[in-house]
Amino acid sequence: MTIEQTDHTKPGSTRPFGVVNKSDWSIPSHTVSFWKGRTHDHCVIIPVINEGERIIRLLQRMESVGVADIADIIIIDGGSTDNSLDPSKLQALRVQALIIKTGSGKLSAQLRCAYSFALEAGFAGIITIDGNDKDDPEPISRMVCALKDGADFLQASRFIEGGVAENTPLSRYVAIRLIHAPLLSFFSGFQWTDTTQGFRAYSARMLLDPRVRPFRDCFNSYELLAYLSYRAPRLGFRCSEIATSRRYPRDEVPTKISVIRGNMRVLLILVKACLGSYDPRD
């Protein structure tokens, strides 16, 4: 099976990028609970697992700023057991699709399911925002505009002018500012400031480029985020950061990464990404 790439950077443009062979895509097993069809050129993908009321609050905030008027909302569930994703409630909040990952893997596996689904549906650009309601969805409209203007990779940042970082745990702040972002900046050749958060946007052109190949089994936990932050600038794609607000609750830190083992794994992934270990070999 093949997908023909089209230049979506300008309205009405049909400049072909070639044909991508999907036969080597590795996609975790998943089911589609509902899919109401594509109504926009861009989509917002929300990875969730047992987010409870947080995902509902995020969707309500997205509704208040009119996200569904400019992009289709797609939820990719990693196997929630908290009954927080009632299809009727999601559709009332204008969610266009609910995908449920049934195979193994964590965040990167979820994203492979959702990204492949979105690309096959014909979306020109994909925005991803965490389902734990830490991010203000207001910048999504600016991301859509930037993708339409030809951006390939937009990284949300709370640390640039106009950004807001509220109640960020000290250990998280130090790890991002002194380790994660500096290393990715040095090895990618692009000055990143906020590289661990999942609020970001990609063009279909970048994800379908055969030099990127995000649909591989090596992307199973948190590898895909670090890899794309490293790989995209090195390949010359148009990258930039966009100011956003990221607020942690005062009484809890909603994260799926364990303090010691999880953070050590993230550090190892970072080093491997910076050394090119996830680059396609062929």
What confidence score (pLDDT) does residue 25 get? 96
Average pLDDT in the chain: 91
CB atoms < 10 A from the CB of 4, how many? 10
What confidence score (pLDDT) does residue 15 get? 35
Residue 189 region by backbone torsions, left for phi larger than 0, else alpha for psi between -120 and 50, else beta: left
Would residue 18 count as lying in a domain? Answer: no
Would residue 4 count as lying in a domain? Answer: no
Q: Indicate the pTM of the whole model.
A: 0.90
Of the candidates 240, 161, 156, 143, which has an alpha carbon nearest to the alpha carbon of residue 199?
156
pLDDT exceeds cutoff 50 at 196: yes
Would residue 92 count as lying in a domain? Answer: yes
What confidence score (pLDDT) does residue 260 get? 63
CB atoms < 10 A from the CB of 90, how many? 21
Would residue 44 count as lying in a domain? Answer: yes
pLDDT exceeds cutoff 90 at 257: no
Tens digit of each residue's pLDDT (9 = 90 or more) over 86-112? 999 999 999 999 999 999 999 999 999
Would residue 11 count as lying in a domain? Answer: no
Percent of the chain with pLDDT over 90: 83
Q: How many domains does the chain have?
A: 1
The average pLDDT across 259-278 equals 88
pLDDT confidence band for 115 (50 / 70 / 90) = very high
Whole-number Å distance between alpha carbons of 243 and 239 = 14
Would residue 22 count as lying in a domain? Answer: no
What confidence score (pLDDT) does residue 114 get? 98
What is the domain extent for residue 114?
27-274
Comparing 131-135, 263-267, 274-278, the range with the smallest average pLDDT is 263-267
pLDDT confidence band for 24 (50 / 70 / 90) = confident
pLDDT confidence band for 17 (50 / 70 / 90) = very low
Whole-number Å distance between alpha carbons of 185 and 195 = 9
pLDDT exceeds cutoff 90 at 14: no
Q: What is the per-residue DSSP string for 92-126? A: HTTEEEEEEE-SS-SHHHHHHHHHHHHHHHT-SEE
Q: Residues 34-51, buried b or exposed e (16+ Cβ, 10 A)?
A: eeeebebbbbbbbbbbbb
Of the candidates 159, 177, 255, 237, which has an alpha carbon nearest to the alpha carbon of residue 201?
237
Q: Give the orientation angle of helix 181-188 with respect to helix 261-274, to 10 degrees.
A: 10
Would residue 21 count as lying in a domain? Answer: no
Supply the CATH number for residue 139's domain: 3.90.550.10
What confidence score (pLDDT) does residue 264 get? 84
Tens digit of each residue's pLDDT (9 = 90 or more) over 209-234? 999 999 999 999 999 999 999 999 99
Would residue 1 count as lying in a domain? Answer: no
Whole-number Å distance between alpha carbons of 187 and 233 = 10
